[in-house]
Amino acid sequence: MFTELSIQAPEESYEILVAELAELGYESFIEQTDYLQAYILSENFEEKTIKELFENYREQFEVSYQIKNLQKTNWNEEWEKNYSPVEIAGKVRIRAIFHEPKPEFQYEILITPKMSFGTGHHETTSLMIENQLAINHQGKSVLDAGCGTGVLAIMAYFLGASTIEAFDIDEWAVENTQENISLNRCNNISVFRGTMEQVALQEQFDIILANINRNILLADMPLYAGSLKKSGYLLLSGFYENDVKDILEVAQKENLHFVSQKTKNNWVAMICQKM
């Protein structure tokens, strides 16, 4: 038995809510124009936890919800009904295997989202990929922190990165990333279930990709800095324009200097460099 959580909230808040709910054990998400649906095993559902989560964001946006118990759902069928390809900067196309290829795009990424998130439709994912296009990945080592479907790691592969590691706290996201790595025939991406603490200080990377949410970015900033090589790049997203000041303040304390940012519908993706 699954519990369906139907959330009425601004569409621009979906990425944050999905990230938070995934950490609470929610296994599938369907984004609609006027509501977000999230699914969890009924035995793991706690309404008190949901109320506390939404209370944390009440000053940023209005949110309400409804609860329904469901029998097991065919998740693939659900997302296939609503999924359409995503085209970014005229160069990148993210599509499912049932869509026809378009050779005019320089890069085509194949994904099967299933129960994880990161299909490319959200502003933060497309902004991150735009920033990736602006950074030289050739021969570089890359870390995708909180990989979701693995789309950013796969983009790094297509851009010529030599070694790529990816991780996520969610087991299904790890399995989904592994499947998408196989779909795209990426031979140099390793993925594991875990957190930034397990990566920090064990090795250093030329590029770190972190499309998560404001609170995790602020908490893990020292770990990102410690895992970056000198002159390495940190690409961040998952926060609003009014969070930029806080993000920059913490980044600069870790010797991470602002390079550039892109904004779309109040969402921000930022590039910082370790000096």
| Count of domains forming the chain | 2
More confident residue, 141 or 199: 141
- pLDDT attached to residue 265: 84
- Check whether residue 173 and residue 67 sit in a common domain: no
Whether residue 157 contacts residue 189, with contact meaning beta carbons closer than 8 Å, is answered with yes
Reported as a single tens digit per residue, the pLDDT across 35-52 is 898 888 888 899 999 999
- The CATH code of the domain that includes 191 is 3.40.50.150
Residues 56 and 177 in one domain: no
The pLDDT value given to residue 113: 62
- Asked if 17 and 127 sit in the same domain, the reply is no
pLDDT confidence bin for 200, thresholds 50/70/90: low
Question: How far, CA to CA in Å, does 82 sit from each of 33, 113, 122, 132?
Answer: 11, 12, 14, 27
Q: Report if residue 8 sits inside a domain.
A: yes
Any idea which of 1-5, 93-97, 245-249 has the lowest mean pLDDT? Answer: 1-5
Closest to 8 measured CA to CA, from 27, 31, 34: 34
Q: For position 201, what pLDDT does the model report? A: 58
**50 and 132: one domain?**
no
Q: Is the pLDDT of residue 186 over 80?
A: yes
Statement to judge: residues 172 and 66 lie in one domain: no
| Beta-strand runs (E) in 114-255 | 141-145, 163-168, 189-193, 205-211, 228-240
Instruction: Supply the pTM of this predicted model.
Output: 0.74
**128 plus 65 within the same structural domain:** no
| pLDDT, position 147 | 92
> Do the domain assignments include residue 248?
yes
In a domain, 97, yes or no: no
Q: How confident is the model over 154-181, as pLDDT tens digits?
A: 999 999 999 999 999 888 789 889 999 9
Name the residue with tokens 């324009």.
241
Q: Has residue 62 been placed in a domain?
A: yes
Classify the phi-psi angles of 77: left when phi > 0, otherwise alpha if psi is within -120 to 50, otherwise beta: alpha
CATH (domain of 8):
3.30.70.120
pLDDT at 130: 97
Last residue of a domain, which of 15, 41, 73? 73
Query: What is the residue-averaged pLDDT of the chain?
Result: 88
Phi, psi of 135 (to 5 degrees): -110, 135
Distance CA 67, CA 82 (A): 22
Question: Can you give the residue range of the structural domain that contains 147?
Answer: 123-274
At residue 256, the pLDDT reads: 97
Task: Please give the pLDDT value at position 248.
Answer: 96
